[in-house]
Chains A and B, each alone.
Chain A
Amino acid sequence: MSNLFLIAHVAGRTVAIDSDQVESVVDIGEVTAVPRASPHVRGLAALRSRVVTVVDTQSALGQEGGSAASRAVITQVDGHHYALLVDHLDDVAPFELRPLGGGVTLDPAWRAAGRGIVERDGEPILAIDLAALVPGQIAAH
Chain B
Amino acid sequence: MDDLLQEFIAETRETLEALSGEIVAWEAHPEDSARLDAIFRFVHTVKGSCGFLDLPRLGRLSHAAEDVLAQVRVGERTPDRALVNSVLAVVDRIGELVEAIESGASLEASGDELLIAALAEGTQEMAQASGPSAPRAAARSVRLNVDLLDRMMSGMSDMVLARNELARRLRQGDIDPAIEAALERLSMTVGEMRDTVTRTRMQKIDALFSALPRMVRDTAAGLGKSVMLHIDGSDVELDREMIEVMRDPLVHIIRNSIDHGIEAPHQRRGAGKRENGRLSVSARQSGNQIIIEIADDGRGIDTEKLIAKLVAGGRDEQQLRRLSRRAQLALVFEPGLSSKDEVTEVSGRGVGMDVVRAAIEQIGGRVELDSVLGKGLRISIHVPLTLSIISAIVVGAGNQRFAISRQAIEEIVTDRSDAIRIDTLGGARVATVRDRRMPLVDLGGLLGIERAETGESQLLAILSVSEGSFALAVDTVLDNEELVVKPASPAVMAAGLYAGQTLPDSGLPMLMLDCAGMAQVAGLDFSRDANEAFEEEEAAQEPAGLPALLFCDLDGTRRAVPLAAVDRVEQVEGSAVRFAAGRFRVTIDGRILPLAAHGTLEGRARLSVLRLKDGESEVSYAMDEALDIILLPEEMVPARVPGPVAGVTLVDGEQIELLDVLWVFDEHADREVETEGETAPLCLISGDSDGWMSSFVRPILESAGYRVATSLAPGETPAVVLVPEESAPAEGAKAPLVRLRRRRSAAGAGDDSVYRYDRAGLLSALEAQVAGKGLR
B491 touches A53 (CB 8 A): yes
> Quick check: is B492 within 8 A (CB to CB) of the other chain?
yes
Contacts of B548 in A (CB 8 A): none
Contacts of A38 in B (CB 8 A): 491, 494-495
Chain A nearest CB: distance from B481 CB in Å?
A: 15
> Quick check: is B503 within 8 A (CB to CB) of the other chain?
yes
B447 touches A53 (CB 8 A): no
Contacts of A33 in B (CB 8 A): 400
Contact with A along B478-499 (1 / 0, CB 8 A): 0000000010111111111110
Query: A51: which of B493, B494, B503 is its contact (CB, 8 Å)?
Result: B503
- Using known A-B contacts A30-B508, A32-B509, determine if residue A51 contacts B495 with beta carbons closer than 8 Å: no
Question: For the complex, what is the distance from the CA of A80 to the CA of B493, rounded to whole Å?
Answer: 12
Chain B nearest CB: distance from A54 CB in Å?
A: 10
A37 touches B503 (CB 8 A): no
Chain A nearest CB: distance from B76 CB in Å?
A: 55
Chain-B contact segment, one of A9-17, A97-105, A116-124, A133-141: A133-141
Query: A53: which of B154, B158, B488, B521 is its contact (CB, 8 Å)?
Result: B488
> Quick check: is A82 within 8 A (CB to CB) of the other chain?
yes
Contacts of B447 in A (CB 8 A): 35-36
B497 touches A36 (CB 8 A): yes
- Using known A-B contacts A33-B400, A35-B448, A51-B503, determine if residue A46 contacts B509 with beta carbons closer than 8 Å: yes
Contacts of B498 in A (CB 8 A): 34
Chain B nearest CB: distance from A30 CB in Å?
A: 6
Question: For the complex, what is the distance from the CA of A81 to the CA of B498, rounded to whole Å?
Answer: 17
Chain B nearest CB: distance from A47 CB in Å?
A: 10
Contacts of A35 in B (CB 8 A): 400, 447-449, 495, 497
A134 touches B491 (CB 8 A): yes
A53 touches B492 (CB 8 A): yes
Query: A82: which of B157, B489, B496, B509 is its contact (CB, 8 Å)?
Result: B489
A36 touches B491 (CB 8 A): no
B490 touches A78 (CB 8 A): yes
> Quick check: is A69 within 8 A (CB to CB) of the other chain?
no
> Quick check: is A24 within 8 A (CB to CB) of the other chain?
no
B509 touches A45 (CB 8 A): yes
Contact with B along A37-59 (1 / 0, CB 8 A): 11011011110111101010000
- Using known A-B contacts A36-B521, A49-B503, A51-B503, determine if residue A44 contacts B491 with beta carbons closer than 8 Å: no
Question: For the complex, what is the distance from the CA of A108 to the CA of B498, rounded to whole Å?
Answer: 31
A46 touches B497 (CB 8 A): no
A51 touches B502 (CB 8 A): yes
The residue in chain A whose Cβ has the minimal distance to the Cβ of B493 is A136
Contacts of B501 in A (CB 8 A): 44, 51
Contacts of A40 in B (CB 8 A): 491
Contacts of A51 in B (CB 8 A): 486, 488, 501-503, 509
Chain A nearest CB: distance from B362 CB in Å?
A: 15
Identify the interface centre among B447, B489, B507: most chain A CB within 10 Å of its CB.
B489
The residue in chain A whose Cβ has the minimal distance to the Cβ of B521 is A36
B491 touches A136 (CB 8 A): yes
Chain B nearest CB: distance from A10 CB in Å?
A: 17
> Quick check: is B355 within 8 A (CB to CB) of the other chain?
no
Question: For the complex, what is the distance from the CA of A37 to the CA of B521, rounded to whole Å?
Answer: 12
Chain A nearest CB: distance from B518 CB in Å?
A: 10
> Quick check: is B511 within 8 A (CB to CB) of the other chain?
yes
A34 touches B492 (CB 8 A): yes
> Quick check: is B161 within 8 A (CB to CB) of the other chain?
yes
Question: For the complex, what is the distance from the CA of A53 to the CA of B446, rounded to whole Å?
Answer: 21
Question: For the complex, what is the distance from the CA of A46 to the CA of B509, rounded to whole Å?
Answer: 6
Question: For the complex, what is the distance from the CA of A120 to the CA of B290, rounded to whole Å?
Answer: 60
A46 touches B503 (CB 8 A): yes
> Quick check: is B430 within 8 A (CB to CB) of the other chain?
no
The residue in chain B whose Cβ has the minimal distance to the Cβ of A77 is B489
Chain A nearest CB: distance from B747 CB in Å?
A: 68
Contacts of B495 in A (CB 8 A): 34-38
> Quick check: is B510 within 8 A (CB to CB) of the other chain?
yes
Contacts of A48 in B (CB 8 A): 158, 161
B503 touches A53 (CB 8 A): no
The residue in chain B whose Cβ has the minimal distance to the Cβ of A35 is B447
Chain A nearest CB: distance from B174 CB in Å?
A: 27
Contacts of B508 in A (CB 8 A): 30, 32, 46
Question: For the complex, what is the distance from the CA of A38 to the CA of B496, rounded to whole Å?
Answer: 11
Question: For the complex, what is the distance from the CA of A105 to the CA of B161, rounded to whole Å?
Answer: 48
The residue in chain A whose Cβ has the minimal distance to the Cβ of B443 is A35
The residue in chain A whose Cβ has the minimal distance to the Cβ of B510 is A32
The residue in chain B whose Cβ has the minimal distance to the Cβ of A34 is B492
B residues with CB within 8 A of A = 154, 157-158, 160-161, 400, 446-449, 486, 488-498, 501-503, 507-511, 521
Cβ-closest 3 pairs across A and B: A35-B447, A44-B509, A80-B489
Q: A36-B447, A53-B492, A78-B490 provided; 6 other pairs, C-beta below 8 A?
A: A32-B508, A32-B511, A35-B447, A37-B494, A43-B509, A80-B490
A residues with CB within 8 A of B = 30, 32-38, 40-41, 43-46, 48-51, 53, 55, 77-78, 80-82, 134-137
27 residue pairs A–B, Cβ–Cβ below 8 Å = A34-B498, A34-B511, A35-B400, A35-B447, A35-B448, A35-B495, A36-B495, A36-B521, A37-B491, A37-B495, A38-B494, A40-B491, A44-B492, A44-B501, A46-B161, A46-B503, A46-B509, A48-B161, A49-B503, A50-B154, A51-B488, A51-B501, A51-B503, A53-B492, A134-B489, A134-B491, A136-B489
